[in-house]
Amino acid sequence: MDVIILSTTELGDRSYLIHDGSVAFVVDPQRDISRVLDAASKADVKIGAVAETHIHNDYVTGGYELATLLGVPYLVNEADKVNFERTAVSDGFEMKIGDLNIKVLATPGHTLTHVAYAVVDSTGDGAIFTGGSLLYGSVGRPDLLGPENTDFLARSQHRSARKIAASLPGKYEVQPTHGFGSFCSSSSCQTGTSSTIDNEQKSNFVFLIDDETKFKEALLGGLDVWPAYYSHMGAANSSGPKAFYDTLPRMISKGKLLAHLDKGSFIVDLRPGPQFANGHVPNSFALPIGNSFSTYLGWIYQWNTDIVLLAPSSEDAIEATRQLARIGIDTVVGYYPISESVELDFIPSSFKMTTFAELATKSNDEHVAVLDVRRNDERRASSIANSKHVPIHELIQRLPEMKEFEHREIWVHCAGGYRSTLAASILSNAGYNVVCINDGYNETFEGTKLLTAIA
């Protein structure tokens, strides 16, 4: 049995193509199914079935399209309320594909109807594809279905992990979908590329905490907010997502760009932060293309608004469109080519970029206000004295609070510069005098005494 891992790094997820040399089984494919088809072609195998571990909260699946395209079974829990034909599975369901024997284990916890797929070949090699249940060092978060389900799901995660360990040989590989940066993971999730059931029993806190209530408290105590776009994923995945075509969005003219600015379209600048700071289109948002792009755009985006990309290359425009499609955003209406400098018929906006070392020289300057846009858990660990905290995903809604700083420079920071650049663009659009700290947050700050608390 060969397991081919297809990673989606910007979402912190994995999809899998498992094959015996001739026939393959696909688990939790992303929406851009060309990657799965290419992997199958390269391995010279035919896909015999496609499966979902759960109705996903952090991306739009490609499972429905892939199974429909190939005319193969699409395995989805029979308890899931979906608007399409599927092969309904439940605990104990078994299927054979070539040399692969597949068995379903009900593993509620991340969702109410979550399942895992145990796959073993004739040699005894096996793996458990755990989706959002058993992760490396942790489990999937149990709070995405609302507070009324959280207690039950947290306790269910504890039981499901033990069910996996009791049902399968310890040598089986553990292959989760989440746990590589996904907000579907709990904050205690460890980084890693491989594990086994035996290894998890020795190191995963779901096994190390025997008491179910204490486990629940430890699990829930480490959770923070999830991206706003999650609220759209369940409905999209339950309805049978439409096909995505991985093509270059059309290039628009300067006149079209100005028209989109006038009507309030969502203008997204994909250039590196320093280029944006040096000069940008007014009322555009700084979201450099990279692994944080779709998460933070999806977090602040007003759903169904037209999107125009300001892209330094066609490749960047394609990548941005692909990342957005993975989270169900299909409203990119075009892209406008943009270089290091902005060449339009108006004066571009700009703001200064600086470092924490320079901030230290301003610690007694009454004309400087410090804004921290990190998450709550980061803030709890340590913070800069007398700084104001507004997580980046709340900034647009809480802009009225910034009026207290309207006669001061707002020096905005995060942990590495990505969120502070986005925050600076939001504040600049609102007319504030902003300075962006494009620097790595360091708890010692080389002795500058900026911190008010260190965990």
Could you tell me the residue ranges of all domains in the chain? 2-238, 254-337, 352-454
Model pLDDT, residue 451: 65
Number of CB atoms found within 10 A of residue 287's CB = 28
380-414 burial by CB neighbour count: b if 16+ within 10 A, else e? eebbbeebbbbbbbebbeebeebeebeeebbbbbb
Model pLDDT, residue 188: 55
The topology under which CATH files domain 2-238 is: Metallo-beta-lactamase; Chain A (3.60.15)
Is 352-454 the same fold as 2-238?
A: no
The topology under which CATH files domain 352-454 is: Oxidized Rhodanese; domain 1 (3.40.250)
H or E stretch including 5?
Answer: strand 2-8
Do residues 314 and 295 touch, judged by C-beta distance below 8 A? no
Averaged pLDDT in 10-residue chunks for the chain of 455 residues: 95 96 97 96 98 96 96 98 96 97 98 98 96 95 94 97 97 94 72 87 95 95 89 94 84 93 96 94 95 94 96 95 95 91 74 92 89 93 91 96 94 96 97 94 62 48
Model pLDDT, residue 450: 67
Model pLDDT, residue 454: 37
- CATH class, domain 254-337, is alpha beta
Dist CA 443 CA 380 (whole Å): 12
Beta-bridge mates of residue 23: 46
Give the tens place of pLDDT for each residue, 257-303. Answer: 999 999 999 999 999 999 999 999 999 999 999 999 999 999 999 99
Q: Is residue 416 classed as helix, strand or coil in its secondary structure? A: coil
Do residues 120 and 197 touch, judged by C-beta distance below 8 A? no
Do residues 382 and 353 touch, judged by C-beta distance below 8 A? no
Burial (Cβ within 10 Å: 0-12, 13-18, ≥19) of residue 435: buried
Model pLDDT, residue 112: 97
